[in-house]
Each structure stands twice: as structure tokens, then as C-alpha cells.
Amino acid sequence: MGVTFVSDRPYVLLKCAMSLDGYIDTAGPDRLILSNEEDLDRVDAVRAECDAILVGANTIRRDNPRLMVRSPARRDARVAAGRPATPLKVTLSRGGDLDPTALFFTTGEVEKIVYTTSNAVDTLRQRLGAVATIVDAGDPVSLTRVLADLAERGVGRLLVEGGSSVHTALLTAGLADELQLVVAPFFVGDRTAPRFVNDGAFPWTSTNRARLAEVRRVGDVVLHRYALSDRFA
């Protein structure tokens, strides 16, 4: 595929739901529901197979996600296999503007890790040190360094749930192995709303296409699975 991967990093799986015109939310304050219960259960199964879940700091501020395995049966199966009931929670923050009472930090008996710039480490440790592990990821934050550190912590499979900046950074750096893209049957029609990815130089072009591995109808949405590297599994 022409995409080089780093061997000492987790398998990186990107997950996103978008409208027919490529938007993942509206520009307003209310969260846009793109998926359905059937697909949410599918995502829950994917989460249960992963060692860590990563989102950007803006996703925490805007959506206040729990990022936990919802199914009791799946949590029990993880524990029976000697794993935490729910995956590690990971975020990236440049400025440290995160609320320690956010659900990301307060839900789930699992470690929460915040990767930040070198000059924000002390500030974040003062603000979040009681609820999270703060890790210096360079200045600016190095995704390669983040992934290598996660690998050292035993993360073999990383699920990335957004947002646009994180997806764009991983894709343009060639650090993603799989994309699970769900398309909802409606339009947003607002160019000020956030899209799946931002502008960038992506490895996959009209002459170097990603491999479509699966297309599946899930209720009223459609799942597309793309192989983005030779690590696809």
C-alpha cells in the first residue's frame, strides 16, 4: 500500500461516524446523533477487544464521553481473561484545559493517561494529577512517542474515537492501520460544522487507494472497513 508502519507501536484502529456530506457534528451546542443502537453495540464490542481508547481533549470538552465498555457480559469476559473491565483511557492535550470532573476521569476503575507538551506537564499534574497519569510527549506532542509509550505500557490494540484533529494527525503521519467509517443517511449541510478529517497530505490518494475490506449494513447506517497498512487484521 506504500504506507510504512512503526513496529514498536500498537495496532491503531480509527472509528468515526459521519453524515452523507462528511460531517461528524453540527456547529451548534447540541450533540448530533449519527449512529443507532445496533451500531453502538457493535462499537461496544470493538471497545471490548481493545487495550486502550484515545480521544482528543476537545472531544472530552465537547462530548464529555465515558469511553467505557457498556455491556456487563463483555466487561466480565475481559476480567475473566485477566484484563481490566474496560480499556485504558487516553487523551492528548496541548494546553491542559481539561476538567478533572469530566466523565473521562471520573468513570471506570482504569488508568487515565494524558499526553501533553513538555511545558504543560507541571500545570497538568497540578490540575489532574489526582485523577490521571500525566506524560511528557515532547514539544509539540509527538504521536510516535505517544504510541511507543503506550506499547511499553502493554497496549497492543488502540481504538481512536476522534476528533477531527487526532484522526487527521494519525492518518497524515501514516500511523493508522484500520479505519471503521460509518455513514449515516442524512446531510448536515453546514460548512462551519466539524468534518471527519481536516485538510492534510494523506498517504492514500487516487493513485494509492486504501483497501476496502468490508461493507456492512448496520440498521440504517453503513459500515465501511478500510485496511490502511499491511498490519490490518
pLDDT value, residue 190: 96
- State CA 1 to chain mean position distance: 23
**φ, ψ of residue 176 in degrees (nearest 5):** -115, 145
d(CA 15, CA 231) in angstroms, rounded, equals 17
pLDDT value, residue 206: 95
Q: Is residue 219 within 8 Å of residue 38, measured between CB atoms? A: yes
What is the helix, strand, coil percentage profile of the chain, to 5?
Answer: 25, 25, 50
In the chain, alpha helices (H):
37-48, 57-63, 72-80, 103-106, 121-128, 143-152, 164-172
Helix (H/G/I), strand (E/B), else coil: 171 = helix
Give every residue of the chain whose pLDDT is below 50, as ranges: 1-6
pLDDT tens by residue, 214-230 = 999 999 999 999 999 99
Residue length, the chain?
A: 233
Q: Is residue 84 within 8 Å of residue 120, measured between CB atoms? A: no
pLDDT value, residue 164: 96
pLDDT value, residue 7: 55
Q: Is residue 24 within 8 Å of residue 16, measured between CB atoms? A: yes
**φ, ψ of residue 177 in degrees (nearest 5):** -105, -25
Q: Is residue 13 within 8 Å of residue 167, measured between CB atoms? A: no
pLDDT value, residue 88: 98
d(CA 83, CA 166) in angstroms, rounded, equals 26
Task: Please name which of 161, 93, 160, 150 lies closest in space to residue 127, comparing C-alpha atoms.
Answer: 93
Name the residue with cell 497538568: 124
Q: Is residue 166 within 8 Å of residue 55, measured between CB atoms? A: yes
